[in-house]
Structures are given as C-alpha cells and as structure tokens.
Structure 1
C-alpha cells in the first residue's frame, strides 16, 4: 500500500465525498499507481483509486477535468494558481497525475 501526505483540509473533502480528484506531479514513485490500489493518507484514512489519468501540464489537465472535483467551490483559474504555488515549473515538467479516488476506510 502506498502512503501519501495530504493537507487535512483536502483529506476531509475526500472523506466527505466533495473532492474526488487528487492531483500530483508524476514522481517516479507514483508511476505504478493503478485503479483498485489503496492509498494510506496521513495514517488517517485509506482511499481507493478508481481511475488514473496523466497529462503533460496543469493547463491541459484543467481543460479536461472538473476543477470543483479537485478543490470544491473553485474555478479553473483558482485551481491552477494553487497547483503552481505547490509545484514549481520543474516539477510540472515531470507530468501531471490525476487520481480519481473514493474513501475506502478510516484508520
């Protein structure tokens, strides 16, 4: 089982069902994530991966994905600003990973 750190606020959105897409850059340790995998989030909850999608950039990803499923109540521009604040351009060049997730269980 993989382990991921996530801000408490975002984990709560996943657990409530408001957030169903988790966006990461494509670090080597995430390349093997596939549908059906379970991920331990902060040792507080286990989430199930329903689908995995890859994109070359945040802009490309946001042209296809619903931003409200990434950050509830937000528009594309707000999500893009947040992602660029978290990940510098050198990290974005690794590629963008979208995990469609659902809560599996609380730890």
Structure 2
C-alpha cells in the first residue's frame, strides 16, 4: 500500500459479515457513531478494518464522510444497498441499533464512503 504524507491510518474493528462485504467491494458505506476519535476523519484517510481477535485486515480509503442525526436518516440518505446489500433496510436498522444503542446514536451518526485499496 502506498500512502501520501497527509493520509492517516486508523484501525477499526469490523464484524466478519461486514468485513466480507467490504473485501468483496459490495459494501461502500461504513456506518459509525460520531465518537470523538472519528470527528476529524477526512477524505484521503485510510481505515484498516480488522476482524477482532484475528490478523485479518483490509484497507480502505475514505472518499467522503457525511454526518446524520439518526441511523434512519443515514439509511434514507445513503441507501441501504450501499451499506449492506444482503439485508433489508428494516433488518439493517435493527442490526445497527443492536451494535449502537440509543445513547450512542445520540452522539450523531457517520456515513463513511470507502474504496477498497489493493492488497
């Protein structure tokens, strides 16, 4: 992987089902809560997704970061097929809220458009 001087690499954990979709280029929007450590995420940054407890990783370049107030607004704004083409909007919302309870969602939500980098 070649990085520019300005690119920052951040490591984030990803569940296997989402990791596989990213690695297959089927998932192009990553959903996160606006935690303080992600507030300065910008286009050009690199995210190294890791399956927790393994050495398995894949790197993506951030193309765009868009903030939404709720997960519902995010799904409507981005389109569920870009987030998880294998699940319905209703199922995706349930899955996201299982990962991030209401108090986390209240921090704001981020849609991170990503592009898989060559391995």
2:48 matches 1:40: yes
Q: 1:105 to 1:8 in 2, by over 3 A?
A: farther
2:96 matches 1:88: no
**Which ranges of structure 1 fall in alignment gaps of 5 or more residues?**
none
Stretches of 4+ aligned residues off by more than 2 angstroms: none
2:75 matches 1:62: yes
**Residue number in structure 2 paired with 1:22:** 30
**Residue number in structure 2 paired with 1:77:** 90
Highest RCO, 1 vs 2 (Cα 8 Å, sep ≥ 6): 1
Q: Aligned to 2:118, what secondary structure does the other structure show? A: strand
Distance 2:108 2:97 in 1: 13
**Residue number in structure 1 paired with 2:3:** none
Shift of 1:27: 0.4
- Per the normalisation by structure 2, the TM-score is 0.84
1:16-54 CA-to-partner distances (Å, cap 9, x unmatched) read: 111101000000000111111111111511111111110
- The RMSD of aligned alpha carbons is 1.2
Computing the radius of gyration from Cα coordinates, the structure with the larger value is 2
- Per the normalisation by structure 1, the TM-score is 0.92
Q: Report if aligned partners of 1:48, 1:101 keep a CA contact under 8 Å in 2.
A: yes
How many residue pairs are counted as aligned between the two chains? 106
